Chains A and B, each alone.
Chain A
Amino acid sequence: MTISPEPTPAIEALDLVRTYRTHTGVIRRRPLNVEAVKGVSFQVRPGELFGLLGPNGAGKTTTIKMLITLLLPTSGTARVMGHDVVNETTEVRKRIGYVFGGDRGLYDRVSALDNLRYFAELYGVDPGEQKQRIAALLDLVGLTGRENEKVEGYSRGMRQRLHVARGLLHDPEVVFLDEPSIGLDPVGARELRGTIRDMVDAGKTVLLTTHYMFEADALCDRIAVINDGRIVALGTGADLKGAVANRTIVEIETFGVAPEAVDALRADPEVIAVNMEERDQSQILLVQSERGTHITPRLLSRLGETRVGKVVGREPTLEDAYVHLIATTSETDGTAARAAAVSV
């Protein structure tokens, strides 16, 4: 029986590191090394929808910029469709589309059509096909009929759609989306997710960065959680949930809980972790423990005099896994606990 060879990864990152040199202070400028990405490795299969999930400042944008050749890695290597991002920039650029979110990035003073025409020339799209291709993409993103308006009059949602159309002009094999749903209303965000799924259905590989956990969960085949410049978890949504699957979450609403009381909770032998969410007048303590332990009465007694409101016991969600991951890997002293990376 022949064993089919592993397909070449569409995206391959190996120990990517990126350090910035900046300065602190105004009068006495001291050089400062900021490590934005501290050794990121992962592989994306062709046709996969891969998510890079992490809080702001985690290193997502820096990582994506290295992969799309806009930034040189300080060390490490990366390949896109088999081409090295440092030495074979033209080959990489031919095969990738780059979509980013936000208000800027389009030529406001001309029409959407002109924007697309210009980028069609930049990508060298065959002149005979340009008109059809542009029309088809405008239709795909729902901008048909509005393409002759100047972009300066476009809403945020329309701009994002135009960004997507621009990224697909030359039919790239790999599409990179950097926080595309920033500032979009829920309807716009849902439409965008539909478009992203269409891309994958059409056989493209997609790498998406986001800080919206539910977006990553809803869309991605696999998710890499990145925090503080490192990947702290890698796997499908189910795998990540699996890390917390055999746990119970007890949500305790408190009013003005003292730090000593929270420490007292943590000290309990059957408590795995306590994360706290601040609300206006109250705090929600999320207590993780092994499933099946009826520890609620013990928790309440450990809280002592603290005023307590609602108490709910529930199943863990991906959000709990994510919050826990970020909380435990945000220590910057290098001894951060790392959740077991689940390889596929």
Chain B
Amino acid sequence: MTAAAEALRQPTSAQPGSLRANLRLFWLGGLISYRALFNWARPSIYIPTLIGAPTFQILFFAALGSYATGIDAEFFAIGNAVQVSAMSGIYGMTMAIANERWFGTLHALLATPASRWAIFGGRFIPFIANGLLVSVYGFAISWIFLGVELRAEALGVVALGLLATVFSCSAIGAVQGGLSMRLRDGLFGANLLVFLFLLFCGVNIPLEVLPGWMQAVSQVLPFTHGLQAVRAAVDGAGLDQVGGLIAIEFGIGAFYAVLAFGLFSFLERSARQNATLDVR
């Protein structure tokens, strides 16, 4: 027997589906997927796209908003500082899922016994972290250029509000990722979503100004409640006052996350039925 065969004879223990395996897949696997699938993971792209562009977005809407409505620039700065996390959450999650198709790795992935929750759940974490980072950066820009101040006592509540918002935004990004497995151009939908978030959700336009149906739609989208909480917290509101809004935002995120997983399950089942995995 060759040395190679000898080496292959050494048994390996593998316990897919155990709690330990799932946790490792969730955290470590999530991180590897982030580097493997996120188109912008390189600094040469990351910096212009997730740092450069958001800077100017905040400045643009601060200028436009305050010129058009007379409302203080801070309103628009905060709205956009939070909204810029949408790019990480939505584009990122879309790429994290749709790029499996691009690389042709989906077969290999689905042929493993790994828990689908662990696989896709783990992909959220790096993008949530990324989104938080981009938002924090947005606040920094707002402070430097527009004098938007964040009191130290408010930081905790603002951070919590941000976390809820970034989570729900990533969740809707995951839904978009699932849809893009079947539709031809996933990034089209992702782009559209990001623009729509500028219009709805009280990011640039105060909710009261929007027509009724748009307000209703905003209520079921990410950002709306989390943003309200963040705005209030910047103005000095405490957790007792905005906790409810933050909880609703987490709830909305959970809803979209469950929707996303339902979609993935459906897609996998449908692929086994109809061989749709092979359609590029």
Contacts and interface: CB of A to CB of B under 8 A. Distances in A.
Asked if the two chains touch in their complex, CB atoms less than 8 Å apart, one says yes
Contacts of B113: 89-91, 93-94, 123-124
Interface string A64-92: 01001111100000000000000001110
Interface in B246-280: 271-275, 277
A327 interface: no
B21 interface: yes
B192 interface: no
A106 B103 contact: yes
Given A107-B36, A122-B16, A170-B14, A140 B107 contact: no
A123 B16 contact: yes
A139 B11 CA distance: 16
A124 B14 contact: yes
Contacts, number: 147
B261 to A, nearest CB: 17
B41 A109 contact: yes
A96 B1 contact: no
A70 B277 CA distance: 9
Given A71-B275, A199-B8, A126 B107 contact: no
Nearest to B35: A110
A93 B268 CA distance: 15
Contacts of A93: 16, 111-113
Interface string A35-61: 000000000000000000000000000
A98 B1 contact: no
Nearest to A172: B14
A198 B4 contact: yes
A21 B275 CA distance: 10
Contacts of B277: 70
A136 B12 CA distance: 12
Nearest to A102: B104
Interface residues of A, number: 54
Given A70-B111, A124-B14, A105 B105 contact: yes
B175 to A, nearest CB: 23
Given A68-B111, A136-B7, A198-B8, A124 B15 contact: yes
B110 interface: yes
B24 A171 contact: no
B18 A201 contact: no
A247 interface: no
A127 interface: yes
Nearest to B280: A104
A154 interface: no
| Chain A CB within 10 A, most for which of B11, B36, B277 | B36
B9 interface: yes
B12 A126 contact: yes
A150 to B, nearest CB: 10
Nearest to A108: B103
Interface string B1-34: 1101111111111111110110011001100110
Contact of B21 (A118, A124, A133, A171): A124
B24 A121 contact: yes
Given A110-B35, A114-B32, A123-B113, A133 B12 contact: yes
Nearest to B273: A72
Given A121-B32, A127-B24, 9 more contacts: A70-B107, A110-B32, A114-B35, A121-B28, A122-B112, A125-B13, A129-B12, A168-B8, A201-B5
20 contacts: A70-B107, A93-B111, A94-B14, A94-B113, A100-B107, A100-B108, A105-B103, A106-B103, A114-B36, A118-B29, A118-B32, A121-B114, A122-B29, A124-B16, A124-B25, A125-B12, A133-B12, A170-B14, A171-B11, A194-B4
Q: Closest 10 interchain pairs by CB? A: A104-B104, A124-B16, A124-B21, A202-B8, A107-B36, A201-B5, A93-B113, A171-B12, A170-B14, A122-B114
